[in-house]
Amino acid sequence: SAVISQKPSRDICQRGTSLTIQCQVDSQVTMMFWYRQQPGQSLTLIATANQGSEATYESGFVIDKFPISRPNLTFSTLTVSNMSPEDSSIYLCSVESSLSYEQYFGPGTRLTVT
Amino acid sequence: DQQVKQNSPSLSVQEGRISILNCDYTNSMFDYFLWYKKYPAEGPTFLISISSIKDKNEDGRFTVFLNKSAKHLSLHIVPSQPGDSAVYFCAAQGENNNDMRFGAGTRLTVKP
């Protein structure tokens, strides 16, 4: 298994500002994923971040709004840019086991935009 | 589009009885299915999975059943325990890792 930490655990931000969420894994992983869970909705994949290459974004998500960095095999950041109240959500990073399909999730970052 | 659906947002069960959580999917290209459990203020944790080549996978008190023709899977917990109270997410994955899709979750409450 992998142990994943996220910072911050929660934040309240004003409209129009940006927040960068950090994700740290205790082991080297190739693929890291960023998800969003809005109230009452399912977990939604935002993008996949591979070390050394640009992130791959899912439909409906763009790099200008959610820039991602992946400087090494244990760390990634997701920035939520020019925030609006609709961005209020829990953001989770996750990694996939190298041996199976199992995914391990961080504790999440609860973002509230006012 | 919601390719994975959990139509019951909540379920309440008496301790010791069976809990059955259901999940439906629409994409026939999904070939691997997983269940995750999530406690408040924690990230989801992997619970059990099943490949599309099987129709049943059992792990202790947890059994997942897959009906490919109906595009339906279910998670059975027997016997249910109060510690099982959590939100359960169903997930489906295709050959491409980017195709993983989650249901909205079902909140299970097991009453003592």
Range of the domain at A23: 18-107
Selected residue of B46, B88, B107 to mutate for chain A interface (largest A Cβ count, 10 A): B46
CA distance A24 to B18: 38
* Residue A78 Cα, gap to closest chain B Cα (Å): 17
Where along chain B do its domains lie? Answer: 4-111
CA angle B92, B96, B101 (to 5 degrees): 25
Looking at the domain B4-111, which fold is it? Immunoglobulin-like (2.60.40)
Of A41, A96, A101, the CB nearest to B104: A41
* Residue B4 token pair: 């994975």
- Measure the CA–CA gap between B32 and B64, rounded to whole angstroms: 12
Identify whether A56 is part of a domain: yes
Q: Which residues of A touch B2 (CB under 8 A)?
A: 42
Give the position of tokens 């609860």: A110
Instruction: Read off the pLDDT of residues B10-63 as tens digits, 9 standing for 90 and up.
Output: 999 999 999 999 999 998 888 889 898 988 766 677 899 999 999 999 999 999
Find the closest chain B residue to A102 by CA distance. B46
Q: For residue range B50-86, what is the model confidence (pLDDT) as tens digits?
A: 999 999 999 999 999 999 999 999 999 999 999 999 9
Ordered strands of the B56-59 beta sheet: B4-5, B19-25, B72-77, B62-67, B56-59
- Alpha carbons within 13 angstroms on the beta-carbon side of residue B17 total 12
Is A68 in contact with A61 (CB distance < 8 Å)? Answer: no
Give the CATH number of the domain where residue A73 resides: 2.60.40.10
Q: What are phi and psi of B99, to 5 degrees?
A: -90, 10
Sheet holding A4-7: strands in order across? A4-7, A19-25, A75-80, A68-72
**Chain B: nearest CA to A103, how far in angstroms?**
7
Range with lowest mean pLDDT among A3-7, A40-44, B11-15, B49-53 = A40-44
Residue A34 maps to a domain: yes
Q: How far apart are CA B96 and CA B109, in angstroms?
A: 34
